[in-house]
Homo-oligomer: A and B are copies of this chain.
Amino acid sequence: MQTAVSFQKGDRIAVIGGGLIGTSWAALFMAWGHDVALFEHEEASRNAIPPAVSGLIAQVAELAPGLPASGRLHLATSLEEAVEGAAWVQENVPESVPLKRAIYAGIEAVAPAGITIASSTSSLVWSELSADMTDPLRLITAHPFNPPHLMPLVELFGPDAARIQAAAAFYRSLGRHPVFLRREAVGHIANRLSSALWQEAVNMVAEGIADVAEIDAALVHGPGLRWSVVGAHMAYHLGGGAGGIGHYLAHLGPSQERRWRDLGQPRLDAATCDKLVAGIAAEAGDRDIAALEAERDAGLIAVQRALRGRRP
């Protein structure tokens, strides 16, 4: 059986679905020298892809100067055309189990035997998605963090260990940082962490503890800054003094459990949603979404250039 291990630089990659995530993946693959065949079924969306991709490739080049950026983009007019002869499939269609299952059936009908189909799904899990496949082991979940062309994280799950290792090697070859789930979970790792943190961020707004902009500033200048360098578990290890996390758990475990019970479980009711929308308006000021995204992207590039070579 041909497996992902045989993937070579210059091989063609099929990108299925040309929304925000598919377009960003296409730019990343092309920046690293791969040709991309992209299938997007909506014609209006399809026409917007080439100019968008050019802008994103320029950002990747800013982040990682010296890349070949020689990949070519082919806009396929059918799923079959995109997938035929592809060495890798990255699927990014909307988050619907029936839709994704239909796409996988279409891919299995024409794609070279055994090549990996990697789903970018954020909210669905492998067992649901693979249920109707002829060869379910060829499916993996490979969830990027938005925007994929600038964020290194890719979260991997699939029951075929060799295929997961091959996927990790593939994403590493694109400057990504793959992480591994031991079992599938809704939201994988990163969105579970984000969701847990945002729950308390919303709670503090609902409870009137602090305004939206102050909570965001506390995160950016406090734990967010620290978590760009060390993880949450490791931070508690370093907060335990010479005894590390063992000492921390022995002495402060009970008070941490009490803190967990003190956290809120807000509802996103109309009153709370109004406070969130008003709070974001105050925080954004006169910056529209395009300006805020440009600030974010410039920041993401600056931080990663500063940390290059420092992180394991």
Which A residues are within 8 Å of any B CB, using their own CB? 20, 123, 145-146, 151-153, 155, 177, 179-183, 185-201, 204-205, 207-239, 241-242, 244-246, 249, 253-257, 259-260, 262-263, 265, 267-268, 273, 276-277, 279-280, 283-284, 289, 292-293, 295-296, 298-300, 302-307, 310-312
The quantity of this chain's copies bound in the complex is: 2
Q: Contacts A190-B222, A231-B220, A289-B244 given: A260-B195 contact, CB under 8 Å?
A: yes
Of A146, A152, A228, most B-chain CB atoms within 10 Å: A228
Nearest 7 Cβ contacts at the A-B interface: A216-B231, A224-B227, A229-B299, A306-B306, A153-B222, A196-B200, A228-B228
What are the residues of chain B within 8 A of A311 when measuring CB–CB? 220-221, 299
CB of B304 within 8 A of CB of A277, answer no
A198-B236, A199-B260, A201-B233 given; A181·B223 CB < 8 A: no
In the complex, besides A182-B210, A189-B204, 5 extra interface pairs with C-beta distance below 8 angstroms are A153-B218, A153-B225, A225-B304, A242-B289, A249-B268
